[in-house]
A = this chain, B = another copy of it.
Amino acid sequence: MSPRKQSSQELTREMIIHEARTKFVEEGFHQVSMRSIAKELDCSHGAIYYHFKNKAELFYVVLQEYFLELNGIIDEVVINREENCTKLYKLFISFIEFGLNNQSQYESMFMLRNSEIDVLSQEAANFSYQKFAQAVQTLSNNTLLIKDIYAVFISLHGFVVFYRGYATCFEEVKDAAYAHVDFLIKSLSSEKISRSNL
């Protein structure tokens, strides 16, 4: 009856991305179906496959924005004019805050395994981690061991993963977050003193 719409209402890549992002943020990768996106855009789901190879590729594009956002947050903290140790603290908290205020995104960015989408975004995830590690290194005046930075990252990751789904936003668990970061910084601090024999 009507293959190809009139140009005024033609589907664009941006329209799809926009709708995908909206639903993705609300429901997460697995809960959003290509058909539900198509329905919202008043088109058949087949049309989306003309613009994107598959679901993973579509959401990979959406995810890019959030990797950029996270990277921007890291930059922002480092650039601030404050004490290094204050900035370090804020960096850790900001990471957790991002994770818990963007739970669907965080899941696809750092948690999914063997699901097509993570294969694509693995590089971006790695880059964000490198950025994080570099920031920590800088803010600590290069006094930290790489493996300890890794340990911090993994521990922050654990916090986000643990509270995800249980808390709906950072605000709800900020006290626990502060305590967790305190705990990690305590370890980092004791490193500088007692570590030289291992």
Residue ranges of A at the interface with B (Cβ–Cβ < 8 Å): 111, 113-114, 147-148, 150-152, 154-159, 161-162, 164-166, 176, 179-180, 182-184, 186-187, 189-191, 194-195, 198
Contacts and interface: CB of A to CB of B under 8 A. Distances in A.
B161 A147 contact: no
A119 B159 CA distance: 20
Nearest to A163: B154
Chain A interface mostly helix, strand, loop or mixed?
helix
Contacts of A191: 186
A101 to B, nearest CB: 16
Given A155-B155, A158-B158, A113 B165 contact: yes
Contacts of A151: 155, 179-180, 183-184
A20 to B, nearest CB: 20
Nearest to A195: B186
Given A186-B187, A187-B184, A191-B186, A157 B162 contact: yes
A189 B193 CA distance: 13
A158 B153 CA distance: 9
A195 B161 CA distance: 27
Given A186-B190, A186-B191, A194-B186, A157 B161 contact: yes
B147 A158 contact: no
B158 A159 contact: yes
A148 B183 CA distance: 7
Contacts of A159: 154-155, 158
A126 to B, nearest CB: 11
